[in-house]
Structure 1
């Protein structure tokens, strides 16, 4: 069937595991080629493997582009067919990277267009577009436990109702029932963080929050004004990274691990701590080592995993931290290999090993990071590996997320992942029209860019064609900022967002549809280089937190729950051409930000009218353009599943603080009350929005 099978993965860790697994299948020399650059350049290794007809070629998605030029010039690949196995098929295989695969292996089609002499840019781009949508010599096989809507559209086969469906399904539910993986939502324990802050000597009421909801007041004050959103983010991040906060969480983690986890698997059980940032990972490691040393614990030791170097003078040194410097026990070993030994029991991670990490001895996970959607499923699923016959349950302690939110994230993938509808290919045209009316780029510049791109004139030649548009944008933004022209600033910021939207839409949809319009291809190439050169023109003002202090901080364990999963929620495809909105800064005093963060959960306030609060919340929800668009394009059931509703609801409750701070705080602080109120309001809100003109 195929000349070669190319296994493509988007992460080095998974690539190593795949190579090991494939190598066990057949040890015959010449059957499997591992493109690792050990015997030469990766591009020459890959080209040679394909040319010689090696049956199985294992590469990373990052490695493959190195071979583009070498493979494109070889005629020996003509007439051959290829199977592409995309393991863990996420965005990398659904965007520009897989386009490059198709462009290379469909080079024969481009050569046919060019027969007989010179070929125009229009012909070349038309051929590339057609090859991308109809590559006849490539078969894609995509494997994933967490398909996105775009993945289903790209790889799925049309079902009876016309929507793309997977060729084969082995569901999470079936795997759990048959004992191949564990249910990670059993024994799920959330924690609430309570704290009291002071600013410039003023002390405010106690807060109790899961990092989810904060608010501000606007009662005046003579302090310097700050952006409401930026201030809330800065304050909450400051609290999250505060040494007292982290040290208390470390104590909870270590003691829970030693009492409930360490003795499992005959003493081989391990745990992972998921932190919110590289700086948080550094501070967790310092606090962890300090705590176990002070308590004389020799039965628990931690490794920390993060990329690059982190500078954190507040930790007491100006020297940068790195994995090597913070893990002296590695002794040259890979982190995975060292963690697999009995020397280390806990792995502290920051955006590493949350996906594609296979360690069956993981029994517990301690989460101090906001997780949602696919990321939540992939992160917690590090625990689901079995370790027969010893591993029969897992533990999750979560300082940040709610159980119901995690269950909602798992729901689409539990029984079967389905797509509510297919993406309308015309949204590419809609976005292109939005961009064209902005007057930032000229058609002649896009054409010149495309000619230089196809002639491979180099990066400098391409930048020359993009520079005029970047300059126009910069000049207009600077003038708008200086003139305080809010309308012009909003239009320019929307242009920036729509540029990214167009590139993503076209890169995905051009793999499904042959647009037969070279202009769309040229514009996508042009905007991809233009996007990083568009600047907002506005400088963020740093928030001064030097006068803020924590007077009290504590972590309160909530009831342990088992997340109950049921049927999946259909994934929604892309429907609109750039529906983002621009937020105006809301300037308030920093004292007021902290005051409302604390007052949000305080109870000593006078009663207010329930009617006024509910009416205010309903009116605010009905004013949302985002919710209006979603209501007009979805059923009530689909509308209820929108993550934007929770955001809009929280904003509305926060906005009702002026009429009743007490009732609003109760709503924000009582999840059951909030869900009940929202459930009562949504049908009426949906009816109003779906009929709005």
Structure 2
């Protein structure tokens, strides 16, 4: 019976590896001077290549053996052990194979050679020529070449994987041959519960990454009824056939070149558990089912999707189904323009001899690549539809794998139709075809291709993405939902320390200001529009921007630079709401840095050319270097702060980003993607900071919650809603079925505009003559809802409707022609009549935002349309300014920003959710709705006693405040819901 100590774990691992096909080696066979198991290396070569062994005198001649071993050692040092295993070594006119790869089905000779490989695991290997007492717990060898080392610990003896990591960092000298870079594939630190690995030992800065399976969507490993929790490592991952796959397809030393210095650095690549798991599961499904399937992979931002995609693409090329290659071409689509080239380079770095990859930049590139037999093509989603339009119909009999990086916008209806026409082989239009034939072909073209498999990777799947690519699951109520094929959650990535928790140090910044009226008259303005304009005016005021820039610079210099974050290398990003605001911030931050005589500099990123104080400026003219150099410059020298407007806000991968200053309203996926720019891990990065001038913690939590764990679609979109929308649209009488049929017939026949516009113009005239403007709003809203829903459903539904498709073609051209209802801006001119009396921005309490620990549930694609014009509520300028100031601080609140959030967001939201109030609105009864609104408000305020006693007390005791709040809540909620 094994004792429960480190030695017993070591014994257990070796016993179970031997059961799985390994051989236990003898420590005496290890030669520390060459870091090789000489006995097994010699035996392998003698048994498999006797002529080479004899020619090299491996067994008999010490000088001959020494020359060969010196040659072998030099090649491993130069190229890494994986390269030698894959390619062998040439020495004195002889080629010596050092490993035989996995055999393909039916290749008996290859299977015999693979069986000759010697997988050896040895305990207590004395690795140091100078200190013979030192021993590493385990070393795994393939044909005498070391591939892994292991340090083992045991929780029962109160030592953990962390102690094993420290032992590597403290006691294993990377200058010793066994621990030198590239000499092995990886070093494993493990105990009976957790596994970590490192590909390059660097003393105390050795970076060990987790290699756990994950448990309950988080870190760690599940309980194992059949043994030790970590035995998946040696029983499954390192089983000989599995290890062979890692050697042949995953492990790699890649060389990266710094474009500025030209310096090349080598980096060892080894898959994390979730990367190995997802690629293998996808390949297994392809082997079983062939082409024509859809897969959604939800892997957290910063989880190494580029490498996962590269490993997948590289193996999809050779993947087989029923003995035949499954895909003729693999097309990779990315919408991350910055990483587009990086992804291509990552894929190229993993390729084996004979594989080819091309980058399809222009129309025709993809067609030529496929025609020429190129197996891998990388392109961007922006170019994809246009490129695909050019391919033609000759690929109907071919199968394709389409790998989509960040799947949100990659599969709209038009893109999908272009894909289908290009790869599915739509027949060219024929004069004898009826309109119905053409319509049916269009319907088929929109559907996901039966001759293509889609592999969609995203960290933040939307409802459309889940329904299009996710796996269907049955709900208890009989509806059908969708979930990802594979997930590596934000929760697990944070808990494992693979990404940094960007919500752990979140600080909202409150704005406090007072306005004054600057005219004697007291004109009337629309309250809601006026308040919105006033807020934008205040936050965009030069004084406000200068003050906020001061706060940013003060924080950055005092809390980031002075405290040597990321070893003194930390960078910051400023997220702005518009290009003009971005340019203003750039100058304000530059001035603030200069005023403090700081050596650090700021970079700006935006698109196009814009006016600044009468001068046309670009990011290049302001920065003093080309746009393409921004990503590299921010990592070098004095450049520390990057000010952005949309650019770099998503898809930008920079581990040195530590702090973000947000002055832009964020919500949903954009909030997650923006703040996640900070989450990339770095050995010296232990936390991040977010200072947010525009959002509050509740907004951010609401955005992140669906994506903390696995994201699930509650139920599918109901196609019957399309029938309802068609009936509603037809009932307006703006068009007739004859209008639709005639327009579609002429459109498909390619007739000129002067034959199409009269039909549309006649319908526009009917629209304009509608007696109520609300009807115009409702029709246009319904038409847009129909197009949105149909464009999505036409992709995923197994059937199509010619009537739906004809209306889609017709409405797609009619909607842009419909004029917006005349809506006078009754807040125009208000900014000329007020001035900013005072402004101050103040950091509030830093907090950790805690996310809900449950699956994120998304609702299906909304198919509702319609809407109504909002009736403007006019008030005197003096009242608007008075109300605005009262709203933001005339009462001496204990926590004004908290009260502002309650009044403007939380209270109206809770009142709007009241069921009785919703019923009153549905019955179109404003008087009763006001009664129900006031009742609901009273109940909401009672619930606030515990959260904010001062706010409750003002509501109870201050009649004018109570009346103002009741009016404000009703105005905010009734008009939105009616």
Task: Report the secondary structure of 2:502's partner residue.
Answer: coil
Among 260, 285, 288, which residue is 2:586 paired with? Answer: 285
Counterpart residue number, 1:520: 804
Gaps of 5+ in 2: 1-325, 893-906, 924-939, 945-951
Q: Give 1:336's match in structure 2, choosing from 631, 635, 649.
A: 631
1:427–1:575 Cα contact (<8 Å) kept: no
Partner of 1:303: 603
Kept in 2: contact 1:579–1:626 (CA 8 A): no
- Rounded to whole Å, the distance in 2 between the matches of 1:570 and 1:616 is 20
Q: 2:506 aligns with which of 179, 188, 193?
A: 188
Q: What is the CA-CA distance between 1:514 and the residue it aligns to?
A: 3.8
Asked if the contact 1:285/1:348 (under 8 Å) is kept, the reply is: yes
Alignment map for 1:431-450 (pairs within 5 Å)? 431-450=725-744
Residue 321 of structure 1, aligned match among 617, 628, 634: 617
C-alpha change, 1:658 and 1:99, in structure 2 (3 Å) is farther
Number of the residue aligned with 1:377: 672
Contact 2:358/2:369 (<8 A) preserved: yes
1: distance between equivalents of 2:818 and 2:810?
13
The question of 1:353 aligning with 2:637 is answered no
What do residues 430-464 of structure 1 show as CA deviations (whole Å, max 9, x unaligned)?
A: 11222122222333333233234433446666545
2:838 match: 552
2:662 maps to which residue?
Answer: 367
Aligned to 2:885: 598
Q: Which residue of 1 aligns with 2:381?
A: 61
Distance 1:125 1:3 in 2: 29
Deviations, residues 119-142 of structure 1 (Å, cap 9, x unaligned): 112112113313433631121111
The offset of 1:235, in angstroms, is 0.8
Q: Which has the higher strand share?
A: 2
- Counterpart of 1:151 in structure 2 is 465
CA contact (8 A) 2:912 2:918 kept: no
- Structure 1 counterpart of 2:491: 173
Checking the alignment, whether the CA contact within 8 Å between 1:494 and 1:582 is kept in structure 2 is no
Instruction: Choose the corresponding residue for 2:548, options 243, 249, 263.
Output: 249
Q: Deviations over 1:96-123 (max 9, x none)?
A: 3223212332234x46xx78x7111211
Whether 2:9 is the aligned partner of 1:9: answer: no
When residues 617 and 379 of structure 1 are mapped into structure 2, their CA distance, relative to the original with a 3 A threshold, is closer
Q: Quick one: distance in 2 between partners of 1:540 and 1:309?
A: 31
Moved over 6 A (4+): 614-617, 625-629, 656-659, 664-669
Is contact 1:601-1:665 (8 Å) kept? Answer: no
Residue of structure 1 equivalent to 2:575: 274
TM-score, structure 2 normalization: 0.57
Contact 1:152-1:419 within 8 A present in 2 as well: yes
Alpha-carbon distance, 1:628 to partner = 6.5
- Distance in 2 of aligned mates of 1:271 and 1:550: 30
C-alpha contact (below 8 Å) 1:15/1:59 kept by paired residues: yes
Deviations 1:227-248 (A, max 9, x none): 2222111111111110111111
User: 3-state SS of the aligned residue for 1:564?
Assistant: coil
For 1:677, the equivalent position in structure 2 comes to none
Give how far 1:519 is off: 1.8
Q: CA deviation at 1:659?
A: 8.9
Indicate the residue corresponding to 1:238 in structure 2: 537
Alpha-carbon distance in 2 for matches of 1:238, 1:666: 24
Residue by residue over 1:529-566, the C-alpha shift from the partner in whole angstroms, topping out at 9 and shown as x without a partner, is: 22222222425433331231111111122111111122
The equivalent of 2:77 in structure 1 is none
> Number of matched residues?
597
Is the contact made by 1:94 and 1:154 (CA closer than 8 Å) also made in structure 2?
A: no
Shift of 1:95: 3.6
Give the direction of change, closer, same or farther, for the CA distance of 1:657–1:82 in structure 2 (3 Å limit).
farther
**Structure 1 position 395, deviation (Å):** 0.4
User: What residue in structure 2 maps to residue 32 of structure 1?
Assistant: 357
Aligned residue number for residue 509 of structure 1:
793
Higher relative contact order at CA 8 Å, sep ≥6: structure 1 or structure 2? 1
Q: 2: CA distance between counterparts of 1:178 and 1:666? A: 46
Structure 1 pair 664–395 and aligned structure 2 pair: CA distance change class (3 A): farther
Equivalent position SS for 2:616 = coil
Give the superposition deviation at 1:658: 14
Superposed CA offset, 1:395-421 (max 9, x none)? 001112111221221111111111222
User: CA 1:178–1:466 in 2, change beyond 3 Å: closer, same or farther?
Assistant: same
- What displacement does 1:664 show? 7.2
Instruction: Quote the residue 1:638 is aligned against.
Output: none
Q: Does 1:135 align with 2:460?
A: no
Contact 2:514 2:839 in 1 (8 A): yes
Greater alpha carbon shift after TM alignment, 187-196 vs 26-35:
26-35
TM-score using structure 1 length = 0.79
Q: 1:657 & 1:289 partners in 2: Cα distance?
A: 49
Alignment of 1:578 onto 2:865: yes
The one-character-per-residue Cα deviations of 1:279-298 (angstroms, maximum 9, x if unpaired) are: 21111112112222223222
User: Any idea what the Cα deviations from partners look like across 1:560-613, whole Å, max 9, x if unmatched?
Assistant: 1111122244111135431544322222233322221111144559xxxxxxxx
Helix, strand or coil at the partner of 1:320: strand
8 Å contact 2:722–2:863 — kept in the other structure? no
The 1:45/1:463 distance shift into structure 2, 3 A limit, reads: farther
Residue 18 (structure 1) aligned with residue 313 (structure 2): no
Q: Distance in 2 between matches of 1:101 and 1:285?
A: 42
Alpha carbons of structure 1 residues 658 and 625: separation in structure 2 relative to 1, 3 Å? farther
In 2, Cα distance between equivalents of 1:191 and 1:284? 16
Q: CA deviation at 1:325?
A: 2.6
Distance 1:615 1:196 in 2: 24
Distance in 2, Cα, partners of 1:247 & 1:412: 36
Partners in 2 of 1:260 and 1:243 — Cα distance? 25
CA distance 1:469–1:29, shift in 2 (3 Å): farther
Q: How much does 1:28 deviate?
A: 5.5
* The structure with more radius of gyration: 2
Q: Distance in 2 between matches of 1:49 and 1:554?
A: 59
Give the whole-Å Cα distance in 1 for the aligned partners of 2:367 and 2:751: 23
Query: Over residues 167-220 of structure 1, what are the superposed CA-to-partner deviations in whole Å (9 max), with x where a residue is unaligned?
Result: 111111111122221111011111110001101269xxxxxxxxxxxxxxxxxx
Q: Is the 8 A contact 2:416 2:447 kept in 1?
A: no
Q: What are the equivalent positions in structure 2 for 1:451-530 lying under 5 Å apart?
A: 451-457=745-751, 462-463=756-757, 465-473=759-767, 475-476=768-769, 488-530=772-814
1:561 aligns with 2:847: yes
The 3 A distance-change label for structure 1 pair 618 and 334 is closer
Match of 2:515 in 1: 197
Do the aligned partners of 1:428 and 1:577 also contact (CA within 8 Å) in 2? no
Are the aligned partners of 1:85 and 1:141 in contact in 2 as well (CA < 8 Å)? yes
- Structure 1 unaligned residues grouped into runs of 5+: 37-41, 203-221, 481-487, 606-613, 630-645, 675-681
Asked if structure 2 preserves the Cα contact closer than 8 Å seen for 1:265 and 1:390, the reply is yes
Post-superposition Cα deviations, 1:339-361, rounded to whole Å, max 9, x if no partner, equal 23223111111122111111111
Query: Contact conserved, 1:600 with 1:668, CA < 8 A, in 2?
Result: no
Cα distance in 1 for partners of 2:960, 2:413 equals 47
Q: Do residues 588 (structure 1) and 875 (structure 2) align?
A: yes
The answer to whether the 8 Å contact 2:505/2:689 transfers is yes
Write the distance in 1 (CA, Å) between the matches of 2:910 and 2:630: 50
- Residues 458 and 515 (structure 1 numbering): CA distance in 2 closer, same or farther, change over 3 Å? farther
